[in-house]
Amino acid sequence: MRGLEDFLAECDRGPRINELSGFFAATAAGRSGKPIRKPLADRRLLPDQDLLRAVVALHAARQGHFDQHYHGSIPYRLEEECRMAHAVLKYTLQRGVPLSLYSLGTAEGTMARTLSELAQGKIQSLSCSPNPENYTCFLDYGEPADAEFFVGPFHRLTKDVLTAEPRLAKFHAGFDLILEDTTFQMYSPNRAKQIEYVSQHLKGDGIFVFVEKFRARDAEEYERRELQKDHGFKARYFPQDEIDRKKTAVLGTMFDSEVTLVQMSEAIRTRFRYCAMTWNSGNFYSLAASNAKENLDRYLYQMEEPAIPYEYVYDSGLPRDPADDVATEQLR
């Protein structure tokens, strides 16, 4: 128990709910950090499929303040979120049984809500955020039948909370899929403990998806990718003084809690047998891990090709060096 108490205390000291809390609250409320135009998915990069078109359209209609800031900040993250939602939806339909999804720390939970609405009872989702402003955005479009929201940091969502809250009790048995979307990096670099803690909510054959910004082995390479992000993409949505202000106020603090891909690989291996890289954009990567190879294979098979220009992609998912192997087994 001492180890758990120390971990929870570590999370309570995390920048996300302390020195960065003002930035997240103001952005979630739309008081600052608003892009000069709403980011829209580039349909030229996505396949022309009815189900995917439905995902893109509803996702655009459900976005709140923070999601617009987020998708204007990370190159082609919006297209990737739609690609992933499309894969989850197809994976669920192929399974033939309802799926439970936990999206932790994902602002107003746009993707989770979109999936629950489109799946019409086949996807029960739970999103969480420490900011009540995000919950307000979540409710702006009405209270959905199959999507729930927990107002609080990820480490305060316990089995006891799931049991005590009647609307959350349906998730007590665990989740089939968990998405961690740039959340851990806002608290500490302690990935092993973070993964261990959240995995208590994952079913034995479930899938854990991580979207994170990673440190590069070469500091100059990391900075080159940052400059590409800021000047090649982010400048479409934010003036330069806004980009500089965020770099000073937020990104430096966040960097202290980032880890390398190798460190993340080691943390994932403490809990999971299989892992694959599914997306890369500059210093951002998405990884999918599971102990059930068949489920992970099935999920990966549903994914369309990444919807991102090649110049932003630095890793295709195939390890070039054993030391960089994020996958215990290549699954694609």
The pLDDT of residue 323: 38
Domains and CATH numbers, the chain: 2-324 (3.40.50.150)
Helix H or strand E encompassing 143: none
Please state, in angstroms and rounded to a whole number, the distance separating the CA atoms of residues 260 and 263.
Answer: 5
Please state, in angstroms and rounded to a whole number, the distance separating the CA atoms of residues 256 and 270.
Answer: 22
The pLDDT of residue 332: 36
Give the position of tokens 């899938």.
207
The pLDDT of residue 88: 98
Sequence-distant (6+) residues with CB within 8 A of 73 are 234, 237, 238, 246
The pLDDT of residue 150: 97
Q: At what angle do helices 50-62 and 77-95 cross, to 10 degrees?
A: 120
Buried/exposed code over 1-33 (b: 16+ C-beta within 10 A; e: otherwise): eeeeeebbeebeebbbbeebeebbbbbbbbeeb
Question: Which residue from 269, 261, 268 is spatially nearest to 319, judged by alpha carbons?
Answer: 261
The pLDDT of residue 327: 45
pTM summary value: 0.94
The tokens for 153 are 């940091």
Q: At what angle do helices 21-28 and 132-139 cross, to 10 degrees?
A: 20
Please state, in angstroms and rounded to a whole number, the distance separating the CA atoms of residues 29 and 31.
Answer: 6
Strands 284-290 and 202-213: antiparallel
The residues of the chain scoring below 50 in pLDDT are 318-332
The pLDDT of residue 320: 36
With vertex at residue 328, the alpha carbon angle to CA 324 and CA 332, rounded to the nearest 5 degrees, is: 95
The pLDDT of residue 319: 38
Phi and psi (nearest 5°) for 285? -140, 155
Please state, in angstroms and rounded to a whole number, the distance separating the CA atoms of residues 258 and 238.
Answer: 24
Amino acid at 155: H
The pLDDT of residue 316: 77
Please state, in angstroms and rounded to a whole number, the distance separating the CA atoms of residues 67 and 317.
Answer: 26
3-state SS class at 300: helix
The tokens for 327 are 């996958």
Sequence-distant (6+) residues with CB within 8 A of 119 are 89, 92, 99, 146
71 half-sphere exposure, CB direction, 13 A CA radius: 24
Strands 202-213 and 274-281: unpaired
